[in-house]
Amino acid sequence: MINTIRELFEQKGELDYGEGVSQLAHALQCAHLAEQANQTPAFITACLLHDIGHFITPDESFPDNDYAHEKLGAKWLKTHFDSEVTAPIALHVEAKRYLCAVDPIYQRSLSDASMHSLQLQGGRMTLKEVTDFQARKFNKAACLLRQYDDLAKDQNAETPPLEYFLTNYVALCVKN
């Protein structure tokens, strides 16, 4: 599985993320932020792989279409990783919608590209959706992943390379 993930990043990691950084740079920054905050290996792995669905979708029209990359990616990873990795990935788009619904300051902090994708993803949650999201087991992890995701757009950030995260975190989380 690690070789497949490495190959996906090698093949598609340089694709534009829509924020002035590549998909790879975004993933590395997100994982590095989690590592700097002393998060668990599973959570750091989730941060690294949270947008892997962009690499496996048959539709490469990102960012103009929403094809539920979060659910696609989590489903693809599910056979090799536990829910501590896959659930925050599956919920990170819902987390953005949730945070926009409960915190107007959060929504105002979103980039133009993130606002664009928010509209494609359904906009702010309704009150019922908020209540349902709050009942989800990994909602807090998804919100934290979302916050790292929002910060992982720095064109000048320095991070360890992909191989560092694959070896030190992803390898620890792959199911035997």
When mean pLDDT is compared across 25-29, 108-112, 124-128, 150-154, the lowest value belongs to 108-112
Q: Could you tell me the pTM of the whole model?
A: 0.91
**Residue 22: helix, strand or coil by DSSP?**
strand
Residues 88-120 pLDDT 10s = 999 999 999 999 999 989 999 988 888 888 888
| Per-residue confidence band for 128, with pLDDT thresholds at 50, 70 and 90 | very high
Q: What is the pLDDT at residue 114? A: 85
Ordered by where they begin, the domains of the chain are: 28-56+67-173 (1.10.3210.10)
- Separation CA 44–CA 165 (nearest Å): 8
Q: What is the pLDDT at residue 19? A: 79
Q: What is the pLDDT at residue 117? A: 84
Residues 13-44 pLDDT 10s = 988 767 788 999 999 999 999 999 999 999 99
Q: What is the pLDDT at residue 16? A: 77
| Per-residue confidence band for 1, with pLDDT thresholds at 50, 70 and 90 | very high
DSSP-derived letter for residue 13 is T
Residues 30-83 pLDDT 10s = 999 999 999 999 999 999 999 999 888 765 555 556 678 889 999 999 999 999
**Residue 42: helix, strand or coil by DSSP?**
helix
Give the helix ranges, DSSP H, for 23-174. Answer: 23-36, 41-49, 53-56, 69-77, 83-102, 104-109, 112-120, 127-134, 139-151, 162-165, 171-173
Q: What is the pLDDT at residue 161? A: 98
Mean pLDDT of 139-159: 95
How many other C-beta atoms are found inside a 10 Å radius of the C-beta of residue 22? 16
